[in-house]
A and B are shown apart, each in its own frame.
Chain A
């Protein structure tokens, strides 16, 4: 493999690029004899490559780039680290790889690349991110014996979009084994050429930048740009607008049923929106033109939207966990559960069609349009100041954050503290809801908090939520599997072995539920005990313990 690779990029104005590259060749020509490489390898002179990633950039966030390069027959997928795109971690020939449609992981033939990628992206699908095409010319640098001692590759890429913007040429010096000094010398010459800079970004980043994007530009995190001194109503609007963006950007993926996580992210944003309305809505009514009636209407509409998404998501969860369920069987055989899987898939298809109809409905369109209009009005009034720059009656964002977060925490501490080993299940389910509200309150105002203190508090809260989630979800799942068994019987689609296997699954789930219940006291104490209360107080004061 070629050692000593050094990458550079031309800078400045597009019209200067060609001159900058010519100057590099001129400088190198003073030290080495230059010979154009005869490029025999197919695809080298006219390269086209398309990057693939999940909608939420799971590969990129894991430090990986996945590229598809077409070849004469089929093409190849290449996996490389973000920091060193020339290094190949794995490669996989693929016979028919489409550049315009999503690919589930199953589309990648089994091999090291498939296992590496699927462990990172599951259950998401791969989507084409951007396609770049260009030519690469290679020049060999020769010593006095006429021996190649290094190579200079000049790539001139362009984005394959409507206006095909050119990207800055990329120059790379590749060493030849046994001649590291010559490669370093060549790299020094290139580095000193006018207008040439070390390449700090990938071609992918350049290509996205040409379209006003950047790698990793989607996340389902709240990440609202709120600031301490911002009028509270403006912050509320900013948070809710960000949640609305996330809802809207996922709609297409849900309707096209690309993968299950579009719906997951959409649902989370709907839930966060509903929690925000509950936690912060009164501040909007008190200090803006939004009326209580309007807010009630939006609250009802978002509940409708949440309910619309529930059946499909519940079935998604069953199907996503199906592999684990099968693996956990002790008495029954995996094939016993196949009728159950088919039944779930048929139901899911029906549910997702109903969901898609709902998301295409005038009600959904009107909800998002009116909600956005309302929020923009609140935000812009807030930033200007409703009365000529005087802070509005709702106070600052810091005051609001401290007030609402501590209220939510007190509710959690009170309800959780009242739970005893004999408390009914519903008391834990209620506590789970309060924990979610508190979690959202923390997330909405995350930029205001000290990151380390925030991380500790949220970490403890998350563990408590996981415990409560396991407890309640297990109960729901058992009830659902029972209902599904009834439905399968009614539809005459339930062989006896399948029902037995489903019974075995419910007993496994019940054991997990019991384990979660046994863990509750410890988790709750870690989060809301005396230390936890001190940590929360310090967080809201703006410091650490």
Chain B
């Protein structure tokens, strides 16, 4: 099972829309896929019309009273399952900290381990911020997908994150960042996106444009690749998925 995490310290950069669309594309490619909505806001769960509730909450999962497998819900799409968000995930940091695990930063990885035979791909949709949860996610992931909005500050947080990962003693995930919510009409957006390919490695060539059809996902409650499969947004996500699949090969 290959684990992908969509993550950024900043919020509102397109993590959830990316996780939802890429997970759908992975499933449509025939990969048995599961998406874990780790964000207590439950946006990914909402888009798949699944109630953001896990029996026993985050506590039962972290303490091993309920297996992750029990929490899985089938989506409306073949090969694609969801582990819903739960409002108790807002205290996930606390729960991870309180547990008596030998390696507190690797608890999410061990929770995912039993799913490895059942799924080919797992997507983790993380809440923003730097926390023990995000550290857990970075340790669990094979590839961390970082959506960037084309601003100087956003690029700076990418540097911070890359340095943070570089300090890992053990296995480090691959980092693939990509521009999200890009408006080519804005000069700054054009400049930053054009320059970054020259300056940094590990940036996807695909750019996800700022489009209202992506915003409509929360109205349609469906991946854009489903309700507008021929839109330029869906094309962009398909291209990003193709880059992601070939990444690291």
Residues of A near any B CB (own CB < 8 A): 2, 140, 145-148, 176-179
Contact = CB atoms under 8 A, between A and B. Distances in A.
A112 B170 CA distance: 40
Contacts of A177: 72-74, 81
A147 B76 contact: yes
Contact of B51 (A145, A146, A148): A145
A146 B81 contact: no
B49 A147 contact: yes
Contact of B73 (A140, A146, A179): A179
A145 B47 CA distance: 11
Contacts of B72: 177-178
A178 B74 contact: yes
Nearest to A175: B74
Contacts of B81: 177-178
A2 B76 CA distance: 12
B76 A178 contact: no
Q: Is the interface of B mostly helix, strand, loop or mixed?
A: loop
B73 A145 contact: no
B106 interface: no
Nearest to A37: B76
Q: Which of A140, A177, A179 has the most CB of B within 10 A?
A: A177
B114 to A, nearest CB: 15
10 contacts: A146-B49, A146-B221, A147-B48, A147-B49, A147-B76, A177-B73, A177-B81, A178-B71, A178-B81, A179-B74
A234 B221 CA distance: 76
Interface of B: 48-51, 71-74, 76, 81, 221
A140 B49 contact: no
Contacts of B48: 147
Choose among A2, A140, A178 the residue with the greatest number of B CB atoms under 10 Å from its CB. Answer: A178
Contacts of A178: 50, 71-74, 81
B48 to A, nearest CB: 8
A177 B75 CA distance: 8
Given A145-B49, A178-B71, 4 more contacts: A147-B48, A176-B73, A176-B74, A178-B81
Contacts of B74: 2, 176-179
A355 B71 CA distance: 67
A179 B71 CA distance: 11
B225 to A, nearest CB: 13
Nearest to B77: A148
Contacts of B221: 145-146
Nearest to B49: A147
Nearest to A177: B74
A96 B197 CA distance: 50
Contacts of A140: 76
Nearest to B76: A148
Contacts of A147: 48-50, 76
Smallest CB-CB A-B distances: 3 pairs: A178-B73, A177-B74, A147-B49
Nearest to A176: B74
Contacts of A2: 74
A179 B50 CA distance: 10
